[in-house]
Amino acid sequence: MEGQLDAPILSLPNELLFMILWLVASIDGPEQTALRRVYQDVLQLPYRYATKLSYGHAPQLALVCKRFYGVIIDYIYSNMFIDLRHFTIGSRAHISFEQLWRSYQENPILPGVCRTLFLGYGDLPEHPSITTDSLVSQFTAVRSFTLHGLCPSDAPWNLLTLACTHFDQLKELSLGSTIIGYELELSRVFTTLGGLPTTSLRNLRRLHIDGTDWEEYDWTKFKVNQVTLPSMSGAHISIPQKFAGTAPFTKLELSNFLQGANALRALIEWPKYLAEFKLEFTITDEIPDEGLESWTLAGIQNILEPHRQTLRSLKVNAINRDTLEGFDLRSFESLEELGLGIQLTGNHKRHSDDRDRALYSALPLGLRAFHWDLTWSSHPLDDGLQDFSQWEEEWLRRFVLTARAQGCPLKEIYIAFAPDSWSTTNDPVLGAYPWDRMDQLGVELEIKVHYNTPTVEPEEYAEIVEEYRRGISQT
């Protein structure tokens, strides 16, 4: 025991000890590594969201000594995933939840460790002593809160109100529809968050909304006091105050957004100033009319005009129309980060010189970072290995050289690319390993190139190429 106290690792400050133990605790096998790639890189969610409270080597590390125990408890309970949707008694989810609830009751300090909370809303009819309200009320230090399951029912919106008034350190808020999708009533986002005391969301910096409804509202009345709007449930919602310029967040992200221009304008005018904006997936196979708006980059730019002097980051992917006509960001003097999907830039299957010229002439003069999104849909691993080929490499090279020639201080490239081997089409995959292409491009152009963790290892890629060549030789 005396030697244990003298262990060199215990002389490290907590900051370093946390980093080391968290890294060791996260080491896992091939199956868990694959899950990590999908959830961290593709879905941008904490890895433990995938494993449903499976924590690798953390339990073993917690038994080493008291100091390790304190660090690992923080590791286990700092990011919580609680999914009560389709909750059934006796299921694995039920057992896990019962164990979590028991731990919270036996050790009341544990909920206070949580910094990131994901909650899939659902009723708990078989637990008269446990409600989602009583569950949420135990968390006291949440910085990032994700709530999915928002629907026409009042219950999840009441829970959102409780959470926002209770989480006084909240910096990030993400709101999602039900599993069915596209049921999140955007008007209720305004009435719920806008109706809170001014001190409730004073620290909020990021708002993300996913899966809005496509019902038309009279958004032109947004700035008028005491407006009444109809909801999907048939009830009427009263907007009690003027919202424009009152929201504290400076970063707005919209996914699966089926509302129209007036709704987006209302959202854009909500914060006093906006530094970052992201819009993706305004089209869906499930809705025949593809939402309420035929979105273009020029139309989005026009709505963002009130924040022309403060906007630093703009990312757009998978919108209704791919035209670049009227798109010009040169007057956005603070814009230094631009992200576009291949639907807007083109790729090896669909491209034109005119499109390239239109893009070059639209670039903001202060561009420092470019994000290129090669994903076609909101489903992970929906792309093929051929989607970063020699054509994409050459296109990116031309883009960097042209941007720099125009005076842009371009320093970094971010590539969203997460294919899987089974998604490879009949297109040739005989070139270099895609991620090697990216690395070599960075060296050649002396620019930092960032990308998702490779979803296919070099050895597996070589086997795919060899299999393809054998198939060609046999035809």
Classify the C-alpha dihedral 421-423-426-432 as positive or negative: negative
User: Is residue 242 included in any domain, yes or no?
Assistant: no
Residues of the domain holding 39 = 1-77
- Cβ neighbors of 260 (< 8 A, separation 6 or more) are 216, 219, 291, 292, 293
User: Is residue 45 included in any domain, yes or no?
Assistant: yes
**Dihedral in degrees, nearest 10, Cα atoms 342, 347, 349, 353:** 120
pLDDT at residue 2 in the model:
47
User: Is residue 28 included in any domain, yes or no?
Assistant: yes
User: Is residue 29 included in any domain, yes or no?
Assistant: yes
User: Is residue 238 included in any domain, yes or no?
Assistant: no
Is 127's pLDDT higher than 80?
Answer: no
What total number of domains does the chain contain?
1
Sheet holding 251-255, edge to edge: 79-83, 116-120, 144-148, 172-176, 206-210, 251-255, 276-280, 313-317, 337-341, 369-373, 412-416, 448-451
Is 470's pLDDT higher than 80?
Answer: no
pLDDT at residue 276 in the model:
98
Classify the C-alpha dihedral 137-143-149-155 as positive or negative: positive
pLDDT band for position 38 (cuts 50, 70, 90) = very low
Considering the chain, what is the average pLDDT of its residues?
80
Rg (CA), the chain: 24
pLDDT band for position 101 (cuts 50, 70, 90) = confident
pLDDT at residue 80 in the model:
86
User: Is residue 113 included in any domain, yes or no?
Assistant: no
pLDDT band for position 448 (cuts 50, 70, 90) = very high
pLDDT digits (tens, 9 = 90+) for 392-405: 999 999 999 999 99
The C-alpha atoms of residue 374 and residue 343 are separated, in whole angstroms, by 8
Judge whether 67 and 17 are in contact, CB under 8 Å: yes
* Residue 371: both structure tokens together: 């994000």
pLDDT band for position 1 (cuts 50, 70, 90) = very low
**What global pTM score does this model have?**
0.83
Is 92's pLDDT higher than 50?
Answer: yes
CA distances, 451 to each of 1, 374, 391, 434 (Å): 46, 11, 18, 11
User: Is residue 216 included in any domain, yes or no?
Assistant: no
pLDDT at residue 46 in the model:
40
Instruction: Report the DSSP beta bridge partners of residue 302.
Output: none
pLDDT at residue 472 in the model:
64
Judge whether 369 and 414 are in contact, CB under 8 Å: yes
User: Is residue 68 included in any domain, yes or no?
Assistant: yes
pLDDT digits (tens, 9 = 90+) for 395-431: 999 999 999 999 999 999 999 998 876 555 555 556 8
The C-alpha atoms of residue 158 and residue 62 are separated, in whole angstroms, by 37
CA-wise closest residue to 165 among 184, 140, 147: 140
- Cβ neighbors of 446 (< 8 A, separation 6 or more) are none
Is 232's pLDDT higher than 70?
Answer: no
